[in-house]
Amino acid sequence: MLLGFYGTIDDPEEGVDHMIQGMMNSPDVDVAVPEKKFRPSGGGDALTCGVGVKSVAGQKVTLPYCAWANSGTSASVAETDSVDLAKDPKPVDLQAFADKVSKIRSEAQASMG
């Protein structure tokens, strides 16, 4: 799931904070792995990534997420695995997820011109 905005962003760090707060400040979401910055293996700007667990109809859903912002875009990507919705959030490889999100970010920014 990709959610983002483009336009003029005066404070990119605040943009990242708002994206994460929007995802994590819900009464049915718990932070399982607090966010931290990851530098994509292929290079590029750092992403802020973590893992949340959302309760949906009594089932736990593990949601790795990454967010970024710069002067022109602010976005977040979260992923669910339909095969293993309730997987243990602790061993999620956030570096690998940041690498995947970095590619998504590049494609999204290219499509925005």
- How does pLDDT run along the chain (113 residues), one tens digit per residue? 888 888 899 999 999 999 999 888 888 999 999 999 999 998 989 999 999 999 988 889 999 999 999 988 889 999 987 777 878 999 999 999 999 999 999 988 777 65
Q: Which amino acid is it at 93?
A: D
- Tell me the C-alpha distance between 112 and 60, whole Å: 34
Q: Report whether 70 contacts 86 (CB < 8 A).
A: no
pLDDT reported for residue 107: 87
Q: How much is the pTM?
A: 0.90
